[in-house]
């Protein structure tokens, strides 16, 4: 990554207008829905901006979630309490502007999300993601996420694994 970035919560000082990640639904979400989700306490949105700029280079959302114990598989579930659901954090969206793709910013934002989840006062077992496509799923698998057997486009990373990284 050549530019230095700051990652912070989305606010009115950030310029969303020029953001284009190549997925119209994600571009539209940032421009029209992210602020509403923050105000309604549905999801928090974090943005990366290059030093000296207010233009958004990337963003992700983070919210509370849960995992049905049975979805984890016997090898993982046997080490957990027998609660019907296990607490988690969900990265709902992660997108990088086309001018900053393939420079490591996506991985940096993923790391930032894991750090925020680790610092949370709420206890969580894992971080969840819903991959948009096979390329996104491969990105998450590359970073240690495991797909659910019954839903391979939904992946999780145990927080204990994130802590070690």
Which active-site residues does the annotation give? 140
Residue 132 burial by Cβ neighbours in a 10 Å radius (0-12, 13-18, 19+): middle
Question: Which of 62, 5, 59, 64 minimizes the C-alpha distance to 30?
Answer: 59
Angle at 125 between CA 154 and CA 67, to 5 degrees: 45
């Amino acid at each position: 990554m050549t530019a230095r970035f700051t990652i912070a919560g989305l606010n009115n000082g950030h310029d969303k207008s020029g953001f284009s990640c190549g997925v119209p639904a994600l571009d539209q979400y940032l421009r029209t829905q992210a602020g509403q989700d923050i105000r309604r306490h549905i999801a928090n949105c974090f943005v990366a901006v290059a030093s000296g700029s207010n233009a958004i280079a990337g963003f992700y959302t983070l919210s509370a979630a849960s995992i049905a114990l049975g979805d984890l598989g016997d090898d993982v579930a046997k080490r957990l309490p027998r609660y019907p659901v296990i607490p988690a954090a969900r990265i709902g969206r992660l997108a990088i502007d086309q001018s900053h793709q393939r420079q490591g910013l996506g991985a940096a934002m993923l790391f930032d999300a894991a750090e925020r989840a680790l610092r949370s006062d709420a206890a969580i077992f894992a971080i969840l993601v819903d991959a948009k496509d096979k390329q996104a799923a491969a990105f998450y698998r590359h970073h240690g996420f495991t797909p659910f057997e019954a839903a391979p486009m939904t992946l999780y990373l145990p927080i204990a694994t994130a802590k070690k990284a």
